[in-house]
Amino acid sequence: MRELIGTLLIGITLGSIYSLMALALVLVWRSTRVINFAQAGQAILTTYIAYEIINRTGVFWLAILFAVVAGALLGAGIEYFLMRTLFRHADEGPVAAIAPVIATLGLLGIIRSVVGMIWGNEFRSIAPPVSTTGFVFNGQPLPFSMLNLVVIIGAAIVMIIFSFIFQKTDLGLSLRASAFQPEIARLAGIRVGPIRTIGWVFAGAAGAFAGVLVTPNDILSPNSLDVLLVFGFVAAVIGGLESLPGAVVGGLALGIGVALITNYISTVLVFPSVFIVLILSLILRPNGLIGSKRVRIA
Binders of another protein among residues 242 to 271 (CB under 8 A) are: 267-268, 271
226-239 and 39-57 are packed helices; what angle lies between their axes, rounded to 10 degrees? 130
Measured from the CB atom, the residue of 107 and 201 that comes closer to another protein is 107
Q: b/e per residue, 78-115, with b = 16+ CB within 10 A?
A: bbeebbeebbeeeeeeeeeeebbeebbbebbeebbeeb
Position 176 contacts another protein (CB under 8 A): yes
* Residue 288 near residue 278 (C-beta atoms within 8 A): no
Give backbone dihedrals phi and psi of 135, rounded to 5 degrees, phi first.
-65, 150
Min CB(249)–another protein separation in Å: 18
The least CB distance from residue 270 to another protein, in Å, is: 9
Which residues between 98 and 137 bind another protein (CB under 8 A)?
Answer: 98-99, 101-103, 105-110, 112-114, 116-121
Q: Is residue 227 part of the contact set for another protein (CB under 8 A)?
A: yes
Does 53 interact with another protein (rule: CB under 8 A)? no
Residue 289 engages another protein in binding (rule: CB under 8 A): no
Among residues 86 and 289, whose Cβ is nearest to another protein? Answer: 86
DSSP output for 116-136 = HHHH-SS-B----SS--SEEE
- CA distances (Å), 293 to each of 141, 254, 282, in order? 45, 22, 14
Stretch touching another protein by CB under 8 A, among 124-132, 158-166, 234-242, 249-257 = 234-242
The reply to whether 297 sits near another protein by the rule CB under 8 A is yes
